[in-house]
Amino acid sequence: MALCAPLVGAAQQPAEPPPSSDIVEILADSQQKAGDVYLLRGNVIIHYRGMTLTADEVVYDEAKRVADARGHVVFEREDDRLEADEAHYQLGTGAGIFRNVEGTAGPRPRPTDDYLVTSNPFYFKAERVDRRGDGSYLVQHGWVTNCQPGRPKWRMKAARAEIRPGNDARLYHSTFLIAGVPILFSPYFSMSLAEEPRQTGFLLPSFGNDSRRGLTVGDAFFWAINPHADLTLGAQFYNQGGWTQSADLRALPTENSRIEVNYFGATAAKFGRTQARFGGQDLRQSGQSARIFAESRWANGFRGVVDLTYLSSFAFRLGFAETFNEAVRSEVHADAFLTNNPGTFYFNGFLSRYQTFFQPEPETSITLLQAPGFEFGSRPRWLDWFQQQLFYFSFDSSVGGMRRDEPRYQTPDLVQRYSFFPRVTFPFTLGPYFSLTPTVGVRATRYSARVVDDPSAPGGKSVLNQPLRRVSEEVSVDLRFPSLQRVFERGDHKYKHVLEPEVTYRYVNGVRHTDEFLRFDDSDILSDTHEIEYALTQRLFAKEPGEDGQTREILSWRVSQKYFFDPDLRDALRPGVRNVLAAMTSLTPFAWAAGPRRFSPIASTLKFTPAGRYHADLRLDFDPDQGKVTNTRLTAGTRLTDLLRLSVSHFTTRNLEFLQPHANQLRFMAAYGELYRRGFNAVMASTWDMRRDFLPNTVVQTSYNWDCCGVAFSYRRLGLGLLRSQNEYRFTFTLANVGSFGTIRSRERLF
């Protein structure tokens, strides 16, 4: 052992770096020695293997390597720091006893957007702290918090606690206090001290209340199975009768794969009867929903995805959906596929199930199943057969088994469908300004069954096991005109206005008996057509000042329309009914054809992004036959400051009632702050049905976050008519780096 200033009464001298990690370095104002025992006084500093012990007075036994310190004792090692009145510390083993202690332990967690995080370490204070040789601490009659010392906003007080820096803190017979007021007693409590907190145990319980379910209490158990997998099991109970169950599994089996499994179930037969007493519908709201998602990538470019969703009933979703968008979503998807794209070819093998609900009572839905299905094709491949002319070949092919189940009819078993669509493209130019791109192809499709009118059937339709073939010739010609442009200068800024006209001619022939095709996807709504689509796109670009200034598009406006040389699409359009055919859906997603016609609606799409903090998107359809705008879709938003954001959406449908129901809805949101920002944050979102003068959905959330914790309040109004009417009041208290105590779930936050 090397001693700096070993003479009695010598002044403290700076020491040279120790030659090895096993050397004890001592600094003190005065030192006295009797045998192997040193008496050190005044600004005593002891360094050993990355440990530093400072005190007013230290008695050090050189033979046993034991230090007894008194007066302003400070112990530091890596991320740990202890301040005590006195300490007994063994340098060799790293064990020690500290009395009247205040300290910090563990590394500071990494910043994240998934939960509230503080850079404060965990502070603890106790009458006695025993440090073990493995670096853990046994705290007796103390408390722990990650708030700043002095007057912590929250703390956990315990008769005994075990702290393992970098791992966790375990408290026994603990009491949770907020501002010094006892809130909750727990015989056992554990919190993570890791850089990325993740630990097996029960989560903080949740409490809530709403007008439909009454008092709610719940809890969940989190199981950290291994570093790459975890499972959360939860349950909630309602005093109005009923309870819910949930399970969430996450796993990363390999570097290129992941799995997520989510389950939610409810046993709540009493809710429907309670709602009926207040004028609502008595629906069976018990049920289950589940989702399985798995993704993996393999060698040679193969990728597989499984995304399966199960819903027991639409009434269950209406009764237990946590958000308005989820409650009104009537579709359920289940898909699985294996794909590969070598070169210009592609291969897909898949299973698919789609279900859409129309009403919950009696439950009515349409279910489409494709199991299995295979697709093989090629993107355009250049064929060098002609030296003077570009020539591209491509094709699509598919084979699969289909099934359709709806109120009018059901297909017997899997209906076979085969399709093959080869085509050639040969672009060329017309002079120095015009370009022409014709594409010619033949599409052949075979169905093993067909649907026909049957007045004797309950739904007026029946399916016959008679093959149905379709062979169509298809021609499309894309004519591109030269772009017209002009540059404007306003001071240091430059603007460019561009006009892009385009014309597309399409001709499809050979599709007969369109009403006999079973419809499974968009390839089954093909019809004969002889049409021309013309469009004009205007773009406005802005260039930032300077030679290196970037150019961005601030405005685009596209106006398009179709003219049909054959107004009834060779008898495919039926008057007085809702016609949905490929020739119609390629222009606008809204149904508009109520019978034969020459001109389609005029579709307008305007996008405005003048700067990073503003954006707007306006889409509308003007029907010249009716002389009015039939559909509008407006979305706009702004970020007035770094914290204040506003957005609004407006949707209207004013077409014929049997084409689509009339609607006029306004949605808006105003938000101030961020989810885990320090200080005050607030957000409000609402949906206004202007036709009925009704607010089906309103959510208000406010929160205030300190350096170590935060509180959040939420009010939600969910009105689904007679199906569900509910007012909810929720509260959450969040501990930074620990978790949340309350009923506002992460997926329900609006920020």
For the segment 133-146, the average pLDDT, to the nearest whole number, is 90
Q: 440 burial class (0-12, 13-18, 19+ CB within 10 angstroms)?
A: middle
Q: Cβ neighbours of residue 393 under 8 Å, at least 6 residues apart?
A: 378, 380, 381, 383, 422, 423, 424, 425
Contact 74, 96 (CB under 8 A): no
Strands (E), 431-528: 434-447, 450-453, 461-464, 468-480, 484-490, 493-509
Q: Is residue 444 part of a domain?
A: no
Q: Does residue 634 share a domain with residue 509?
A: yes
Q: Cβ neighbours of residue 648 under 8 Å, at least 6 residues apart?
A: 634, 635, 636, 637, 666, 667, 668, 669
**pLDDT band (50, 70, 90) for residue 10:** very low
Q: Is residue 317 part of a domain?
A: no
CA dist 619 and 601 (Å) reads 12
Q: Does residue 632 share a domain with residue 541?
A: yes
Q: Does residue 687 share a domain with residue 593?
A: no
Q: Is residue 440 part of a domain?
A: no
Token pair belonging to 533 = 């689509």
Q: Is residue 404 part of a domain?
A: no
In which residue are the tokens 């105590």 written? 741
Q: Does residue 505 share a domain with residue 624?
A: yes
CA dist 308 and 327 (Å) reads 19
pLDDT digits (tens, 9 = 90+) for 424-437: 999 988 878 888 99
* Its pTM surpasses 0.75: yes
Q: Does residue 716 share a domain with residue 601?
A: no
Domain ranges, residue 571: 481-661
Return the exposure string of 103-132: e unless at least 16 CB atoms fall within 10 Å of the residue's CB, then b.
Answer: bbbbebbeeeeebbbbebbbbbbbeebbbe
Q: Is residue 40 part of a domain?
A: no
Q: Does residue 553 share a domain with residue 633?
A: yes
Average pLDDT of the residues of the chain: 87
Report DSSP state, residue 275.
Answer: H
Q: Pick from 638, 661, 684: which residue ends a domain?
A: 661
Q: Does residue 712 share a domain with residue 646?
A: no
Q: Does residue 720 share a domain with residue 571?
A: no
Instruction: Specify the length of the chain in residues.
Output: 751
Q: Is residue 717 part of a domain?
A: yes
Q: Does residue 696 share a domain with residue 565?
A: no
CA dist 562 and 600 (Å) reads 5
pLDDT of residue 16: 42
pLDDT digits (tens, 9 = 90+) for 81-113: 999 999 999 998 999 999 999 988 766 666 665
For the segment 39-56, the average pLDDT, to the nearest whole number, is 93
pLDDT digits (tens, 9 = 90+) for 475-531: 999 998 999 999 998 888 889 999 999 999 999 999 988 989 999 998 999 999 999
Q: Is residue 626 part of a domain?
A: yes
Nearest CA-CA partner of 303 in 338, 267, 332: 338
Phi, psi dihedral angles at 110 (to 5 degrees)? -75, 145
Please say if the pLDDT value at position 536 is more than 90.
Answer: yes
Q: Pick from 603, 634, 661: which residue ends a domain?
A: 661
Q: Does residue 589 share a domain with residue 727?
A: no
Q: Is residue 730 part of a domain?
A: yes
Across the chain, which distance is largest between two alpha carbons, in Å? 116
For the segment 201-227, the average pLDDT, to the nearest whole number, is 82
Contact 739, 115 (CB under 8 A): yes
Contact 655, 630 (CB under 8 A): yes
Q: Does residue 499 share a domain with residue 531?
A: yes
CA dist 93 and 131 (Å) reads 10
pLDDT digits (tens, 9 = 90+) for 338-390: 999 998 999 999 999 999 998 887 889 999 999 899 999 999 988 877 767 78
Q: Pick from 633, 661, 689: which residue ends a domain?
A: 661
Q: Does residue 531 share a domain with residue 511?
A: yes
Please say if the pLDDT value at position 539 is more than 60.
Answer: yes
Q: What's the domain count of the chain?
A: 2
Q: Cβ neighbours of residue 563 under 8 Å, at least 6 residues apart?
A: 531, 532, 533, 534, 598, 599, 600
